Amino acid sequence: MKIAQAFIVTIATLTAGNAIASPPASCASKFIGVWRHYGPFGITNKATLTADGQAKCDENVACRTEGSWTCNGNVMTYTTSAGPFTYTSKSATEIDGPNSSIRMVRMGAAPGAPAKDASQGPTVCASQKTHMDKVSNGEMPCIDFSNTCARPVVFTYIYNPPAVRSMTRRTTVAPGKKDQFCGSPGGNVVFSGAQMK
């Protein structure tokens, strides 16, 4: 119960009057963006970490006010009226929380990330689109792949299922074909790259 309360307090409160400073540029890009925050007992929310050091909380009734954040290397410190909480960047798409029952996964691309086609894959002949499909028990994360190249294309993506560690997956799409992956409601899909076979 103490962990659940700390999670809700962490996301929900900020001591009034605390000045918020921008996190250092040397580490901020690892954390800036929109994240799905998974806590103990299935508690989730959407956390937005801004470049000016604000931490905003949505999609949970406990989200009433904002917190602040800063970083040093791969470590983010999230501060609220309940005190500071330490998170560690595990990858570009996943952050581990103060204990094993709390983690965050990136929703969408990191701000300022280079265009995937330009940096990692075939040019404009292969494309992908992530979206959420409404289903009876929530929203299901999906990613659509399209290949108009003359050769097969291997698409790489990261699937973050609810309450389970993220996994890197690949799908090969033949020339002139399309494919789709949809995950479980409450999960997230992030495009990672494309490469010709």
The arrangement of secondary structure in 116-196, i.e. its CATH architecture, is: Sandwich (2.60)
pTM of whole model > 0.85?
Answer: no
- DSSP class of 107: -
Domain with CATH 2.40.128.640 in the chain: 2-106
Q: pLDDT for 58-116, tens place per residue? A: 877 776 557 899 999 999 998 877 678 899 998 888 888 887 778 888 877 666 543 33
Within 8 A by CB and 6+ apart from 173, the residues are: 126, 145, 146, 147, 152, 153, 155, 179
What pLDDT was estimated at residue 71? 93
**Residue range(s) of every CATH 2.60.40 domain in the chain:** 116-196
Q: Domain 2-106 falls in which CATH fold?
A: Lipocalin (2.40.128)
Strand order from edge to edge, sheet including 167-173? 167-173, 153-160, 188-196
* Distance from the first to the final alpha carbon of the chain: 50
Low-confidence ranges of the chain (pLDDT < 50): 1-18, 113-123
Looking at residue 112, what is its pLDDT? 55
Q: What pLDDT is recorded for position 158?
A: 84
